[in-house]
């Protein structure tokens, strides 16, 4: 994995955690926004991991 994938994954976790905190403290709308951004970053990181994994399996077959 490269640094970009790790940054996306960490950003997703941090945003989701911030969103959960805001939702728990009463700022529900802001919490939902942060949680949605966190989930989007997680989806992007998982897509990149899948792409890198597929590329790695193709490279290993050479």
pTM of the model: 0.81
Q: What is the pLDDT of residues 35-58, one digit of tens each?
A: 999 999 999 999 999 998 888 776
Q: With a cut of 60, say whether residue 5 has pLDDT above it.
A: yes
Tokens of 20: 């959960």
CA dist 33 and 19 (Å) reads 7
Q: What is the pLDDT of residue 58?
A: 67
CA dist 58 and 24 (Å) reads 45
Q: What is the pLDDT of residues 10-41, one digit of tens each?
A: 999 999 999 999 999 999 999 999 999 999 99
Tokens of 15: 């945003």
Give, in degrees to the nearest 5, the angle at Cα 41 between 39 and 47. 105
Q: Backbone phi, then psi, for 29, in 5-degree steps?
A: -65, -45
Q: What is the pLDDT of residue 61?
A: 62
């Amino acid at each position: 994995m490269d640094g970009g994938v790790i940054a996306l994954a960490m950003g997703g976790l941090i945003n989701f955690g911030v969103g959960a905190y805001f939702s728990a403290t009463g700022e529900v709308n802001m919490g939902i926004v942060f949680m949605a951004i966190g989930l989007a970053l997680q989806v992007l990181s998982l897509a990149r991991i899948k792409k890198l994994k597929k590329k790695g399996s193709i490279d290993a077959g050479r």
